[in-house]
Chain A
């Protein structure tokens, strides 16, 4: 990239919108997955759709690869810069453009923080349902890229369920509108394809979201079991009884110990802790809650607590929210994984994880979204012990293979990104991947938009995922990553 291109970028975004000095660029060399680092050539901070278009036109003309970035909280390296490429930070495009309560729609720019959407509609008792990662930090644009989930997607669905339309700048700089404020806009559901495409199809510059009315009542139940097996049976019992709670979360003993050490959530010391949240009309929730309690007791729960107030609920969630970061209290280093299994495979996969853990002499703490089978095994290790990091990385990949063998997925919400692209060919056959690539070619024939991510490139296989670095908000139990 020569000086004329830098000048051209500077003309588009202004002096303040261009970062090119090495020390400042270091801020952007990685996202939440910190063991992959690449220094971008420049970081551009556009403030309008037109600026994004102008930037992409230059990239297209000069064949410069680009990576769009929100808050950089992603856990799979999706916002990792690419060699000789630029980063487009959407942080300054952070306006909430329209709040339409009667139609339950909110239109935002990509840099808007997830929790701020709820903040804007809270007075009317609405909320934005997807509650991923550190939702007080992460951006809607990043959520769209990753199709972010969260604890409550069991009932409410994922980011894709709540995105009705998008304004997207394609990699050649042209502007398209996908979906819209009304439903079933004639044509292909390209908004559905774009959400979760991890920044490989273009840059979203406006997002039409659906917000949801707050339910009349929310109850959170905490149940202590001897082991995750009994807790798992209770989950099956709840599902078999025809209930769809807002969230079902599970923690094993090691995760509980960590949460206690970190934020003193006052959890009962047990082998398997279940957290069940029910919401809806008061009478409905009260009758279902009794049923959930019975199911938990009949599966051996020896302590059950129900949080009644918002304050009590917050306390119950605090330990769960801080769980990833809390592991730092019981281990110097650790890796977070994000596998999915059919829920019924839980006992078998858990015992396999335990076996692998013993065989490798590495502790594994388990935190799950038990309702939908999304596992977050945390592999604990000490980098100072020679060979242990490599063993931990290998173990975390073996756990993903277990998930695949059980009929699951290599990622439920963190995305493939840089970290897991080598696993893609274990999950999908070559024709499946080739078909996805054809779709990519329709959007981005020159492969400039976040190239080298999602799809396996043999050259890079062998590189492994890295350890987890908690955000300060998580350490304090104020935010969560799932």
Chain B
């Protein structure tokens, strides 16, 4: 991209190393190991600051030294995005893991970026509350990483995405600025909405150090139902009918695979009386179909797609299309995969977002991905590649940028003029 890139990929010399040690107040820097490699690019050192101010100071020094910085949390999604053009430092937020304030009576929480979502949820549950989000690998994934990757699951249909749940953020910018925006109250329109800017920005604008979220009560009761449906057209018809009904479902997903009929799953939450009434309404809507009540395990279907038997012959992608293009998308996928002997599985939420897993030879995976992306982009959708075999032929993770790319680059230049944060990993070379 047209942002100044690092002049050289210089080794970090002893005097610079000493400066980092001074900032972090430690004996020595932790040299990177093979486990720290980011999509094939090895960094030099791993920094683990213990406070926001240490993190900001370390970032500033990296910026002054034009070192490429890869922010890292739990490391669960570190392979997402394009491989970085450089990687000098891993900047870990793992030690910033405190829950700073659970204002349960106000339904908000302030949490540091390095806290795992599981730990957060356990704390919130003590007061019967939750962050209404079901991201991948909750035991390891941390708030900063989940935000940066904009990870969301089935609950999004009812509670919205992270952009709708985050109400405040603090970020460290490459120049060492610690900037906050938003606040601790749910309703607030003072100033620009920077929490939304950094959500899904893949750590390319700043390093998230803390966030404030609005919370929801834990459901009193929940019930899940599942039905087997003949074909994708029928699935789409049912999904649209449910969406157009007065059911107050919380999640609705359809599951497809090459060798089995589709399934449709629906989740209700509420009072016992409400759930009883809704399940009868569902039966009325799905009359003459075999409805089974199922366990909540059904909602881990997205994470289950990630159990990779052979990572070198598997691709996983996030897809987005309009709900009315659901059947079309699956049909498109089926045709592309069948013609190249690629096995596939897919999960599509009623929001039109979905996830798919392709298994086959990398060159065939590549063909399917190209065809499918072209098809989705043509109808206004998108395909973002999340996991790929190391031998997959060149394929940009994000797809074709729209006419707002120059504006996005301009935002990037304003906040990270030296292009040190996750260089080359985001859309359009950002």
Contact = CB atoms under 8 A, between A and B. Distances in A.
Contacts of A197: 192-193
A196 B182 CA distance: 12
A394 interface: no
B382 A284 contact: no
A407 B185 contact: yes
Interface string B254-296: 0000000000000000110110111001000000000000000
Given A102-B324, A432-B180, A342 B193 contact: no
A240 B105 contact: yes
Interface stretch (A14-22, A268-276, A324-332, A369-377): A369-377
A177 B401 CA distance: 11
B320 interface: yes
Interface in B313-337: 318, 320-324
A51 interface: no
A185 interface: yes
A176 B150 contact: no
Contacts of A193: 192-194, 196-197
Interface in B330-371: 351-353
Interface residues of A, number: 91
Contact of A186 (B190, B281, B399): B399
A438 B415 contact: yes
B352 A182 contact: yes
B246 interface: yes
A215 B246 contact: yes
A112 to B, nearest CB: 21
B190 A416 contact: yes
Given A182-B321, A182-B322, A344-B105, A281 B246 contact: yes
A187 B185 contact: no
A190 B353 contact: no
Interface residues of B, number: 85
Contacts of A236: 105
A182 B320 contact: yes
B105 A343 contact: yes
Contacts of A407: 183-185
Given A287-B271, A416-B191, A428 B180 contact: yes
Interface string A201-224: 000000000000111100000000
Contacts of A195: 193
Interface string B124-165: 000010000000000000000000001000000000110110
Nearest to A103: B322
A205 to B, nearest CB: 13
Interface string B21-46: 00000000000000000000000000
23 contacts: A103-B323, A175-B403, A177-B403, A183-B320, A183-B351, A187-B402, A187-B408, A188-B197, A189-B163, A190-B197, A192-B197, A192-B199, A193-B196, A197-B193, A288-B271, A342-B103, A342-B185, A408-B188, A409-B183, A409-B185, A435-B179, A436-B194, A443-B410
8 cross-chain pairs, A with B, having the tightest CB-CB distances, nearest first: A284-B274, A192-B196, A242-B217, A283-B277, A435-B179, A216-B246, A409-B188, A442-B410
Given A183-B353, A413-B187, 8 more contacts: A158-B187, A180-B402, A183-B351, A184-B200, A186-B401, A186-B427, A196-B193, A284-B248
